């Protein structure tokens, strides 16, 4: 089966309780279960990982090369600060879909800049937990083109 990585960054372990008016009431476990189930319908083996530590996320991106065919990434606040994540993505040459639960472009100005977007095949934001499934659909479509 084709394998993809769903990678979640800082504070996403608090989904369901952290600012539900912004991020919804769906927990990270629920998001991951939905991703695994949705991926299976497309013949994708979805592996999920979350960390609050930038280096752990970079390590997972590096390990993805040769293991996974692509990545769905919600880098959380690192989206707006991490050149290191940008460089890691560029280095592994895998298709990456950036996803955010909220519409980062309708929020504070500092959230409008993404260091991930220039090295991603696309960005999905503002659709809540459904955005992960849309990201998997987009990634799968790109993989089928390759």
What residues are annotated to the active site? 23, 100
Instruction: Please say whether the dihedral angle defined by the alpha carbons of residues 121, 124, 125 and 129, taken in this order, is positive or negative.
Output: negative
């Amino acid at each position: 089966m084709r394998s993809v990585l769903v990678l979640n960054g800082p504070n996403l372990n608090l989904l369901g309780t952290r600012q539900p008016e912004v991020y919804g009431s769906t927990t990270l476990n629920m998001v991951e279960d939905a991703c695994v189930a949705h991926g299976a319908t497309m013949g994708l083996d979805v592996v999920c990982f979350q960390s609050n530590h930038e280096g752990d996320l970079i390590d997972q991106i590096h390990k993805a090369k040769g293991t996974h065919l692509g990545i769905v990434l919600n880098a959380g606040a690192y989206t707006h600060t991490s050149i290191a994540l940008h460089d890691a993505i560029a280095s592994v040459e895998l298709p990456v879909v950036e996803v955010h639960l909220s519409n980062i472009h309708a929020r504070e100005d500092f959230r409008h800049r993404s260091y991930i977007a220039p090295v991603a095949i696309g960005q999905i934001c503002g659709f809540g937990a459904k955005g992960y499934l849309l990201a998997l659909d987009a990634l799968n479509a790109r993989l089928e083109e390759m």
